[in-house]
Amino acid sequence: MDLGWSVGFLPDGSALVTERDRFEVLRVTSTGQKTTLGKVPGTVTTTGEGGLLGLALSPDFATEHWVYFFHTAANDNRIVRMKYENGVLGSTSEPVLTGLAKNRYHNGGRIRFGPDGKLYATVGDAKNSGNAQNRNSLNGKIFRLNPDGTPPSDNPFFSTGGNARYVWSLGHRNPQGLAWDSRGQLWAAEFGKNSQDELNLIQKGGNYGWPACEGTIGDCGGYIAPKRTWSTAQAGPSGVEIVNDWIYIAGVTGQQLWVTQINSSGTGVGTPQAVFSGRWGRLRGITRAPDGALWLTSTNNDKNGGTPTVLDNVIVRLTFP
């Protein structure tokens, strides 16, 4: 693989996978067969963390055939959608939401459809920490939109107008993981700066404190505290998946998969355990397949560090007894 960033499953059980730096979309079967379908037009690199990032299939994919992508373009980060029909990826894309500030680093990029049928996206602060508290900036946010790109009228700041209509939560530095538990609660993982990475339980309209507060360090009064923190050397949390209220978090910097269980009240988590430490290098994505397996992506050779291993830049399929 070339930096497999995001995975989304087709009705037949195979997956679409984005490759960050080649801007390509692959189809990968459960037996490991790989086919290149094409590129997302207009995608460019930032020679850092930008490129072709998140991917999500429409909840009505069986009839609509839309695939959504988060990618870096010449002047911005954006969400677009493309048709995938009869095994063929279209050659053109349709803008869904544009104008997200980009930078070499802190682009966020995860997109997922929630249980409510809305599209959620994580966007980093684009190395401008002031964006995170500015409701009129979509950066440093988790935002929520209708599949056609319009803001839902029940978003928390819809009445404010402008970009604030899209905001679901704010005060984020560089979130890259999204997943929902059995109660329909949204959890998100976030890269810290120098001290603490975060796992957050996201509230509608919630403010998570960046840049005044990093994890539990700083001026954190009045902000929503994370449910778990790690040192930035341990985790670097990117993709998140939840299965039976167990949370799986792909660690980039720490080069390990973190596993923890949501408590019976749904308000917190147990002590996370690290598994597969260093085995596949920098772990970027974790996604549940229709057959119950977890697909884990490694992006070890991503220009941002990592120790060369035998299995660089792979997809690992994990099954449960």
Q: Say if residue 284's pLDDT is above 80.
A: yes
If you average pLDDT over residues 222-249, what whole number do you get? Answer: 97
* Token pair 């291993």: residue: 309
Q: What is the average pLDDT value for the chain, to the nearest integer? A: 96
Give the pLDDT of residue 302.
67
* Token pair 């009705």: residue: 11
291 φ/ψ angles, rounded to the nearest 5 degrees: -85, 5
C-alpha–C-alpha distance, residues 109 and 102, integer Å: 11
Task: Give, in order, the Cα–Cα distances in Å from 32 to each of 15, 35, 89, 151, 320.
Answer: 10, 10, 20, 38, 18
pLDDT exceeding 70 applies to what percent of the chain? 97
Q: Say if residue 309's pLDDT is above 80.
A: no
Least confident piece of the model among 212-216, 220-224, 278-282: 278-282
Give the pLDDT of residue 39.
98
C-alpha–C-alpha distance, residues 133 and 164, integer Å: 11
If you average pLDDT over residues 193-220, what whole number do you get? Answer: 98
If you average pLDDT over residues 92-106, what whole number do you get? Answer: 98
Q: Is 172 a catalytic residue?
A: no
Instruction: State the catalytic residue, choosing from 65, 71, 106, 172.
Output: 106
Cβ neighbours of 161 (radius 10 Å): 10
Position 303 confidence tier, pLDDT thresholds 50, 70, 90: low
* Token pair 């870096």: residue: 72
C-alpha–C-alpha distance, residues 292 and 318, integer Å: 9
Would you give the DSSP letter of residue 151? Answer: P
With contact defined as beta carbons under 8 Å apart, do 118 and 158 qualify? no
If you average pLDDT over residues 306-318, what whole number do you get? Answer: 77
Give the pLDDT of residue 2.
84
Would you give the DSSP letter of residue 63? Answer: H
| Positive/negative CA dihedral, 168, 92, 22, 31 | positive
Would you give the DSSP letter of residue 219? Answer: S
If you average pLDDT over residues 36-55, what whole number do you get? Answer: 97
Per-residue pLDDT reduced to its tens digit, 47-94: 999 999 999 999 999 999 999 999 999 999 999 999 999 999 999 999
Q: What is the strand order of the sheet 186-191 is part of?
A: 174-180, 186-191, 196-202, 228-231
Tell me which of 267 and 301 has the higher pLDDT: 267
Q: Say if residue 210's pLDDT is above 80.
A: yes
Q: Say if residue 297's pLDDT is above 90.
A: yes
Q: Say if residue 112's pLDDT is above 60.
A: yes
If you average pLDDT over residues 98-116, what whole number do you get? Answer: 98
The two tokens of residue 4 are: 């497999």
Question: What angle (nearest 5°) sits at the alpha carbon of residue 210, between those of residues 138 and 219?
Answer: 150
Cβ-Cβ contacts under 8 Å for 105 (sequence gap 6 or more): 46, 48, 49, 124, 127, 174
Task: Give, in order, the Cα–Cα distances in Å from 174 to each of 106, 129, 131, 142.
Answer: 5, 10, 11, 10
Would you give the DSSP letter of residue 304? Answer: S
Position 307 confidence tier, pLDDT thresholds 50, 70, 90: low
Give the pLDDT of residue 1.
85
174-180 and 167-170 strand pairing: unpaired
C-alpha–C-alpha distance, residues 147 and 113, integer Å: 9
Q: Say if residue 15's pLDDT is above 70.
A: yes
Per-residue pLDDT reduced to its tens digit, 125-135: 999 999 999 99
Give the pLDDT of residue 301.
66
* Token pair 């508290």: residue: 133
C-alpha–C-alpha distance, residues 120 and 122, integer Å: 7
Per-residue pLDDT reduced to its tens digit, 134-180: 999 999 999 999 999 999 999 999 999 999 999 999 999 999 999 99
3-class state of residue 170 by DSSP? strand
